[in-house]
């Protein structure tokens, strides 16, 4: 109660002591018992319509926008009502107040690719040494971040938080809420070009995390990315680096693909360390390197690091592998996509399975703005030039990808163009010969995981 009463501009009705809430909620379709229910208003919803429902389901208190009629007349329970000018801003202010009260070590991660994976890897590396909390899923925006912080286990001494952005100013605001001790930047890539226009714009947006951080903080940076290192050069605090570059403080020296993952060697302070992971793909080694550099900074030992790395498996939708008795493999990388993650994902699959064995299932890459058509065409041409010969193309921009495939000049290419996921699944079944590796990737809203589910049902029925 005192944390809330101390926030600027908050009026309290039905104040009661002692008062306690176990967390914060915004959706009555999920458990709200003994939580503080915050009524958010969006374009297509209004949480104020569900205040009585929240109280009836056991909410410990409610937060409403100024001017809302008193919400609890004739309710069976009376709970505190907190009135504020902006309920979204209230979430951020309260999350920051809680962060200041508990004083955990806060690590924030941003970047165009690998944010969620790096977040999970850092949390996994630290959890054996420290009580560690982390962002659930990808709750990384101005609503999701505060909710993650407000629902963190009070006993967690390290908070690992993902920060996302698609507008200038967003990372600045999120960083001020989280007040990180350590900031991690994965990559500057061609994501959200609709809003940032080019790589320099993306870099400008990502740099906000470091300009908003305390100058006494620590930045952990991808040494392979010149735009990341440009941001590092302007950061006033301590800079730690990781990557494949010979200039990286922690350097990935080599890696070897194994039947179930990779062996890799990292060099740090003149000593080589031999590690293993169940993840597959060069791009995951960069995420691992950044996570290991963070763990070392927080005094996690190499034995613990090695044990944690060996436990890591692909995260759902980020390279998850299904293998069938017919020696057919499908790789689920449906979580999201941009031009850089498309290239790295398909090339990692081609390296493992052979480019001629790949069936490339490509959905639209969204939020690329004026670059959209060009990026789809360039992707198609790039993949053919790298040796991939079989494609299933889905979405509004599939014709542009097809245009790029044809522009390669290679004639021995098979393409199947459809917007129907069921017909795509059936076509995949017909293409599934022994040794085939199907790689599926597209932007989140394409819902390509439904294609994989339909394909899996057909394959299991076919070989039951």
**In the chain, which segments carry CATH 3.90.190.20?**
320-458
**Quick one: how many helices (H) and strands (E) in the chain?**
16, 20
**In the chain, which segments carry CATH 3.40.1390.10?**
2-85
- At residue 462, the pLDDT reads 66
For the 2-85 domain, the top CATH level (class) is alpha beta
Tell me: the pLDDT tens digits for 306-359? Answer: 999 999 987 777 888 889 988 999 999 998 888 988 998 999 899 889 999 999
- pTM for the whole structure: 0.85
Q: Is the pLDDT of residue 382 over 60?
A: yes
Per-residue pLDDT, averaged over 173-187, amounts to 96
**In the chain, which segments carry CATH 3.40.1190.10?**
91-311
Q: Which of these, 381, 370, 315, 313, lies nearest to 346 by C-alpha position?
A: 381
Per-residue pLDDT, averaged over 3-28, amounts to 87
- At residue 464, the pLDDT reads 44
Rounded CA-CA distance 286/390 in Å is 29
Tell me: the pLDDT tens digits for 184-240? Answer: 999 997 766 667 778 888 889 999 999 999 989 999 999 999 999 999 999 999 999
Q: Which of these, 167, 186, 179, lies nearest to 101 by C-alpha position?
A: 179
Q: Is the pLDDT of residue 76 over 80?
A: no
pLDDT band for position 104 (cuts 50, 70, 90):
very high
- At residue 194, the pLDDT reads 67
DSSP 128: T
Q: Is the pLDDT of residue 438 over 50?
A: yes
- At residue 137, the pLDDT reads 74
CATH label, 91-311, candidates 2.40.30.170, 3.40.50.300, 3.40.50.720, 3.40.1190.10 = 3.40.1190.10
Q: What is the sign, positive or negative, of the torsion defined by CA atoms of 240, 246, 251, 252? A: positive
Q: Is the pLDDT of residue 254 over 60?
A: yes
Per-residue pLDDT, averaged over 287-292, amounts to 97
pLDDT band for position 45 (cuts 50, 70, 90):
confident
Q: Is the pLDDT of residue 369 over 90?
A: no
- At residue 456, the pLDDT reads 93
Rounded CA-CA distance 403/397 in Å is 10
Per-residue pLDDT, averaged over 395-417, amounts to 94
320-458 — its CATH code? Answer: 3.90.190.20
- At residue 358, the pLDDT reads 97
């Amino acid at each position: 109660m005192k944390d809330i009463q101390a926030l600027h501009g908050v009026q309290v009705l039905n104040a009661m002591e002692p008062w306690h809430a176990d967390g914060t909620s915004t959706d009555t379709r999920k458990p709200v018992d003994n939580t503080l229910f915050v009524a958010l208003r969006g374009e297509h919803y209004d949480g104020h319509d569900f205040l009585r429902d929240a109280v009836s389901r056991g909410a410990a208190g409610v937060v409403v926008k100024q001017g809302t009629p008193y919400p609890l007349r004739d309710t069976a329970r009376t709970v505190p009502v907190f009135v504020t000018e902006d309920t979204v801003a209230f979430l951020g202010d309260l999350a920051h107040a809680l962060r200041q009260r508990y004083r955990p070590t806060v690590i924030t991660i941003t970047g165009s690719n690998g944010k969620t994976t790096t977040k999970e890897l850092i949390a996994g590396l630290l959890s054996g040494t420290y009580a560690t909390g982390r962002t659930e899923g990808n709750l990384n925006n101005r609503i999701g971040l505060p909710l993650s912080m407000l629902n963190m286990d009070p006993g967690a001494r390290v908070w690992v938080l993902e920060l996302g952005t698609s507008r200038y100013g967003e990372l600045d605001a999120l960083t001020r809420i989280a007040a990180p001790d350590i900031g991690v930047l994965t990559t500057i890539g061609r994501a959200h070009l609709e809003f940032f226009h080019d790589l320099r714009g993306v870099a400008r947006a990502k740099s906000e995390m470091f300009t908003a951080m305390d100058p006494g903080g620590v930045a952990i940076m991808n040494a392979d990315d010149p735009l990341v290192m440009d941001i590092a050069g302007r950061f006033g605090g301590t800079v730690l680096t990781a990557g494949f570059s010979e200039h990286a403080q922690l350097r990935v020296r080599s890696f070897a693909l194994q039947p179930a993952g990779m062996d890799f060697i990292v060099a740090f302070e003149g000593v080589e360390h031999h590690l293993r992971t169940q993840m597959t793909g060069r791009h995951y080694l960069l995420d691992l390197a950044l996570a290991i550099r963070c763990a070392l900074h927080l005094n996690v030992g190499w034995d613990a690091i090695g044990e944690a790395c060996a436990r890591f498996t692909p995260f759902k939708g980020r390279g998850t592998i299904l293998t069938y008795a017919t020696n057919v493999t499908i790789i689920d990388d449906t979580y999201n996509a941009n031009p850089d993650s498309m290239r790295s994902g398909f090339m990692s699959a081609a390296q493992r399975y052979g480019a001629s064995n790949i069936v490339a299932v490509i959905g639209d890459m969204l939020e690329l703005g004026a670059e959209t058509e060009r990026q789809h065409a360039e992707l198609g041409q790039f993949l053919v030039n790298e040796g991939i010969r079989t494609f299933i193309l889905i979405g509004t921009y599939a014709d542009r990808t097809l245009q790029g495939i044809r522009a390669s000049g290679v004639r021995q290419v098979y393409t199947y163009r459809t917007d129907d996921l069921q017909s795509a699944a059936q076509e995949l079944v017909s293409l599934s010969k022994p040794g085939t590796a199907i790689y599926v990737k597209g932007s989140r809203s394409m819902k390509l995981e439904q294609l994989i589910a339909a394909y899996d049902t057909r394959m299991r029925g076919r070989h039951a």
